[in-house]
Amino acid sequence: FFFFQAEDGIRDFCLSRGLGDVYKRQSLLFEIYYTEIAETFVPKHRIMSAFEQKLEVPDKKYQYLLFAADPYETIAFKIPNLEIDKNEGKFYFNWDKDSKLYTLQLFFKERSDKPLPALPQKPSSFNPIGARF
């Protein structure tokens, strides 16, 4: 596979980034036209860890979204390594065989600041082992 660059000219695509519903979650929308796809083939996608790929030095801040369709080479998009919300309506993909358009939209889960656990309290009195009476 290779990492997609807009100027490679092999296929058309539309990438959109925005804020989601009232929860203000970040989302990504991918629209990829596969104009020369084989009639019986349906495009596929998968999420890949930065540590699975072998083309770049792994960076834990990112993950990769891959798209595959015959006769095209697999393409990959480098996306933030945030948890993806796969609940109904938050992860959508569709293949329109008439227009040859593969659409995928994903939402990242809302990140919340978790309070740090309380630190252990200082003991009221401390006698080192050798100083006990």
Q: What is the pLDDT of residue 4?
A: 42
Is the pTM higher than 0.85? The answer reads no
Mean pLDDT for 4-20 is: 43
Q: Are 32 and 83 in contact (CB under 8 A)?
A: no
Q: What is the pLDDT of residue 32?
A: 93
Question: Distance between CA 30 and CA 13 in Å, rounded?
Answer: 7
Which amino acid is located at 125 in the chain? S
- Which range has the worst mean pLDDT, 34-38, 98-102, 109-113? 109-113
Across the chain, mean pLDDT equals: 77
DSSP codes joined into one string, the chain: -EE--GGG-SSEEEEEEEE-STT--EEEEEEEE-TT--TT---EEEEEETTT-SSS---TTEEEEEEE-TTSPPEEEEEE---EE-STTTEEEEEETTTTEEEEEEEEPPP-PPPPPPPPPPPS----GGG--
pLDDT tens track for 21-62: 444 568 889 999 999 988 889 999 999 988 888 888 888 889
